[in-house]
């Protein structure tokens, strides 16, 4: 029974992490969506600038998937070249890696501060941009809180026979682990959430480094589905 409760706590903390990431993405897009799209479109003069724009956009949105959707939209309309779009996505992947490293550090006190700042900013702001900034700050705080909860929940799970058996089974079935991570990243619309979740499991010793590579690869695969689906939908509309 205690193992089941811990597993529920784990899933709840994971859901809070995904929700926090979504708040960041929607808040930034509501506050700076137009400017961000223009910046990505104009910041592709060369491959270095394109990669840098992808990196910074991903750090702002906390989602390489969102950056990929914007980039795919621009590429399909001919606003940016295909090779520049690839450079943007390379920078987006680097941004995801940087965000995962930073957020894996012990910065829980920042989460409490961001929740306070986000609530106050959202409450006192009268304009959409201010409310978007407040929403993004609140999302960052909730995400850091979720990471703290995940760290606390995974400690007792190290002694859970059921959890160890499940994770060991995934390690022996790489295809299932890959598909599971792909599905989670697709549903969450963020590969970063899955990468952070796997990193915490690896830090707690529940997952060894080598099998952890498989769900991380699945997370990147799942993050590529939304922009691909969006591009296919736009192509079918033009065909009609």
> What is the per-residue pLDDT across 84-133, written as a single tens digit (0 to 9) for each?
888 888 888 888 788 877 777 766 678 888 899 999 999 999 888 899 98
Tens-place pLDDT, residues 2-45: 667 777 787 788 788 888 888 888 888 888 777 777 767 676 66
For residue 205, pLDDT beyond 60: yes
Phi-psi sector, 189: left (phi>0), alpha (psi -120 to 50), beta: left
- pLDDT average, residue stretch 224-231: 67
pLDDT band at residue 194 under the 50/70/90 scheme:
confident
**Whether the Cβ atoms of residue 96 and residue 60 lie closer than 8 Å to each other:** no
pLDDT digits (tens, 9 = 90+) for 130-154: 999 899 899 888 888 887 787 777 6
* Residue entry with tokens 């690896």: 202
**Residue 154 and residue 159: Cα distance in Å, rounded?**
10
Euclidean distance between CA atoms 107 and 115, whole angstroms: 13
User: Could you give the CA distance from residue 12 to residue 18 in angstroms, rounded to a whole number?
Assistant: 10
Cα(66)–Cα(239) distance, integer angstroms = 25
Helices (H), the chain: 2-42, 47-61, 64-76, 82-103, 108-124, 128-157, 161-172, 174-188, 191-203, 209-239
């Amino acid at each position: 029974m205690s193992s089941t409760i811990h597993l529920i706590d784990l899933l709840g903390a994971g859901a809070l992490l995904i929700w926090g990431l979504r708040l960041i993405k929607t808040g930034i897009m509501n506050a700076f969506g137009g400017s961000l799209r223009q910046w990505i479109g104009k910041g592709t003069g060369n491959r270095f600038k394109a990669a840098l724009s992808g990196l910074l956009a991903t750090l702002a949105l906390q989602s390489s998937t969102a950056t990929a959707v914007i980039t795919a939209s621009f590429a399909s309309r001919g606003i940016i070249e295909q090779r520049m779009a690839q450079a943007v996505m390379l920078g987006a992947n680097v941004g995801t890696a940087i965000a995962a490293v930073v957020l894996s550090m012990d910065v829980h006190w920042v989460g409490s501060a961001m929740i306070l700042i986000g609530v106050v900013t959202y409450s006192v702001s009268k304009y959409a941009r201010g409310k978007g900034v407040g929403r993004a700050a609140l999302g960052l705080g909730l995400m850091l809180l979720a990471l703290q909860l995940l760290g606390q929940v995974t400690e007792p799970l190290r002694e859970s026979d059921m959890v160890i058996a499940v994770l060991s089974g995934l390690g022996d079935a790489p295809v299932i682990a890959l598909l599971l991570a792909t599905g989670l990243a697709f549903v969450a619309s963020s590969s970063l959430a899955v990468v952070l979740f796997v990193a915490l499991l690896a830090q707690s010793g529940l997952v060894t480094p080598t099998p952890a590579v498989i769900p991380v690869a699945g997370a990147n695969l799942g993050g590529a589905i939304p922009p691909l689906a969006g591009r296919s939908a736009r192509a079918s509309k033009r065909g009609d």
